[in-house]
Amino acid sequence: MSSAMYQHMRANPKFQELVARRGRFAWTLSLITLVMFYGFVLVVAFNPMSLGQPIAEGSRWTIGVTVELFMFVFFWVLTALYVKRANGEFDAINQEIIKDAWKEQK
């Protein structure tokens, strides 16, 4: 692709929309991940005894282990959500931008 085509693609309003939407979505997921992870680290640092409590009377599972397992699964779900949206919505917009650029070149 030529430099002119890249310039046309960057000037396309759909490209600006794609960058904004993808950026907001990525930052939202990043913020959720950071808050959960560092929140857990802060609990470990300042109130570790709360994480050692069993989740139920007589249970061998502690709150800390349960929360960590939840976080592990939740982070995979967030990754799957991003991949699904990237492969669906974001790729569709990207293909429209490329088609528009090719139309301008012809």
- Count: domains in the chain: 1
Q: What is the pLDDT of residue 1?
A: 54
Alpha carbons 75 and 93: distance in angstroms, whole number:
26
Closest of 32, 33, 29 to residue 85, by C-alpha: 29
Q: What is the pLDDT of residue 4?
A: 75
- This prediction's pTM: 0.79
Residue-by-residue pLDDT tens, the chain, 106 positions: 567 777 878 888 999 999 999 999 999 999 999 999 999 999 999 999 999 999 999 999 999 999 999 999 999 999 999 999 999 999 999 999 988 888 777 6
Domain of 77 in residue numbering reads as: 3-105
